[in-house]
Structure 1
Amino acid sequence: MRSLILKNLQGKKILLLFVVTMSVYLVMIFITIPWLVTYSKGLSTLDMLPTGYDHKYALSLFQALGEEGRDYYLSRQLPLDFFYPGLFAVTYALLFAYLLRKLDKQDSKWFVIAYLPILSGVADYLENIGIINMLLTFPDISATVIELTNYCSIVKSFSTSIYFVALLVLLGIFGYSKLTRRATQNPRVPGTEPKLRV
């Protein structure tokens, strides 16, 4: 896995993946998920509950969605959400590894963070499979399916949160490194500062 990531650290490729990933994400955030919240009369969808949910909430959500809302979940939101986890996993794993390479730290322990988007993506796919099962079996939803799907949702949220905290730290280090490198390459020689005209 590590060697596969390191072989694909081209800036243009990562930028293209980022644009596609964000495009799918924005469609879900601004179009499909708001539509689902409208159908559910304000209840959040299961994949938007980072701290998890229980059997009662899942039943309440699918009941509130109604037949039309549940069909929209299956036919609109979930197809998009089957593209997104894979895109997220690949894009953000490559982005973190790319920044590490720019800092010449690709062999450091920090590289393990690049695997978190992959873990998040796998958990997201399992979460989606669980949600599909719930939608297809409603109202006779298995408590075990809800419990396992809830676990996947929490793993997804937890791994994603850790990743983005680490990414922000790495971006800060990368920015500081760029600034100090620029200052080192262009040192100011005393007496060469431009004089102000009065």
Structure 2
Amino acid sequence: MAGRRLVRDVNRLLVAGYHTIVDDDMSNLDVRLEGPMGTAYEGGVWTVNVAMPQEYPLKAPRLRFVTKILHPNIEFTTGLVCMNVFKQAWSANYDLLNIFETFLPQLLRHPNPHDPLNHHAAAIMKQSEKDFRDRVSMFLKMYALPIVLPGQSKDNESLDKRSSDLSLSDLLSDNDADDD
């Protein structure tokens, strides 16, 4: 059953327009993610590795940014994503599309400097929101600008911008939110 579910979830990602590379046994996926509109991450394109546990969908996948990103809740060197809230909120009803259309965009929209994996990014954010946005912009230009090949326009290369009004707090029960 988990195999069929995973195939269905990967197909939903592809149909939704996410550029996705899947290994032969579907245990690892690389998915291209664009920064949400209206954030410091807008205009950036990141590759996110998704490691699928054998217990999927009962157990949440592990997410890691392959492309460097400056974010308090993403470890800079390894790209690992702070998963505490995500693991608490995970349900077998969620799928890969939820991760890329809700969880990750909300993480980029609402960084939490009070529970950091990247203490340097958290310190910058706590000191000055403007300095933090400027640094994110600098890192975006260094690592996450989309590649435009000769003969292509930027418009043809960019993926559809994705946003969601659903926040992580909508995914948590009142009891889970109190644990933060």
Instruction: Give 1 or 2: higher strand fraction.
Output: 2
Q: Normalising by structure 1, what TM-score?
A: 0.23
Q: Normalising by structure 2, what TM-score?
A: 0.24
Instruction: Give 1 or 2: higher helix fraction.
Output: 1
